[in-house]
Amino acid sequence: MSSQTDGPTVTALDQLTTADDGFTVTVEPLPAAAAGCAACPVHSVHNAANLRKLGIDMTDWDFVVALAGNPNVGKSTVFNALTGLRQHTGNWPGKTVTRAEGGFEYGGHRYKLVDLPGTYSLLATSLDEEVARDFILFGQPDVTVVVVDATRLERNLNLVLQVLEITDRVVVALNLMDEARRHRLQIDHRRLARDLGVPVVPTEARRGKGLPELLQAISDVATGRIVTRPHRIKNEPPALKQAIATLTRQIEAAFPGLPNARWVALRLLDGDERIAEAVRLGELGDLSRGSAEERSQSVQSLSAKPEPVP
Degrees to nearest 5, angle at CA 238 with 236 and 241:
60
User: Is 189 or 295 the residue whose CB approaches another protein more closely?
Assistant: 189
Those residues whose C-beta lies under 8 Å from the C-beta of residue 182, and which sit 6 or more positions away, are: none
Q: Binding to another protein (CB under 8 A): which residues in 60-99? A: 71-72, 86-95, 97
**In angstroms, rounded to a whole number, what is the distance separating the alpha carbons of residues 271 and 265?**
10
Q: Binding to another protein (CB under 8 A): which residues in 275-294? A: 276-277, 279-280, 282
Out of 155, 208, 300, 307, the only residue in the binding site for another protein (CB under 8 A) is 155
Smallest gap from Cβ 205 to another protein, in A, equals: 12
User: Is 162 or 219 the residue whose CB approaches another protein more closely?
Assistant: 162
Smallest gap from Cβ 154 to another protein, in A, equals: 4
Q: Binding to another protein (CB under 8 A): which residues in 41-60? A: none
Asked if 69 and 146 touch (Cβ cutoff 8 Å), the reply is yes
Question: Which range in 27-35, 45-53, 238-246, 298-306 contacts another protein by CB under 8 A?
Answer: 238-246
Q: Counting contacts by CB under 8 A, is residue 11 touching another protein? A: no
Q: Counting contacts by CB under 8 A, is residue 307 touching another protein? A: no
User: Is 95 or 110 the residue whose CB approaches another protein more closely?
Assistant: 95
First to last CA, the chain: 13
Asked if 201 and 228 touch (Cβ cutoff 8 Å), the reply is no
Separation of CA 82 from chain center? 17
Q: Edge-to-edge strand order for the sheet containing 200-202?
A: 100-106, 109-115, 63-69, 143-149, 170-175, 200-202
User: Is 79 or 106 the residue whose CB approaches another protein more closely?
Assistant: 79
Q: Counting contacts by CB under 8 A, is residue 19 touching another protein? A: no
Q: Which residues of 100-123 are buried (b: 16+ CB within 10 A; e: fewer)?
A: bbbbbebbebebbbbbbbbbbebe
Burial class of residue 280 in the structure, from the number of CB atoms within 10 Å of its CB (0-12 exposed, 13-18 middle, 19+ buried): exposed
Q: Binding to another protein (CB under 8 A): which residues in 240-269? A: 240, 243, 246-247, 249-251, 253-254, 265-266, 268-269
**In angstroms, rounded to a whole number, what is the distance separating the alpha carbons of residues 241 and 239?**
5
Smallest gap from Cβ 94 to another protein, in A, equals: 6
Smallest gap from Cβ 43 to another protein, in A, equals: 29
Question: Which range in 37-45, 55-63, 216-224, 270-278 contacts another protein by CB under 8 A?
Answer: 270-278
Q: Binding to another protein (CB under 8 A): which residues in 88-147? A: 88-95, 97, 120-121, 123, 125-126
Closest CA to 143 of 120, 113, 119, 165: 113
Out of 10, 32, 49, 233, the only residue in the binding site for another protein (CB under 8 A) is 233
CA atoms within 13 A on the CB side of 85: 16
User: Is 45 or 278 the residue whose CB approaches another protein more closely?
Assistant: 278
CB 154: neighbour CB atoms within 10 A?
6
Out of 158, 208, 299, 307, the only residue in the binding site for another protein (CB under 8 A) is 158
Q: Counting contacts by CB under 8 A, is residue 273 touching another protein? A: yes
Out of 8, 31, 84, 271, the only residue in the binding site for another protein (CB under 8 A) is 271
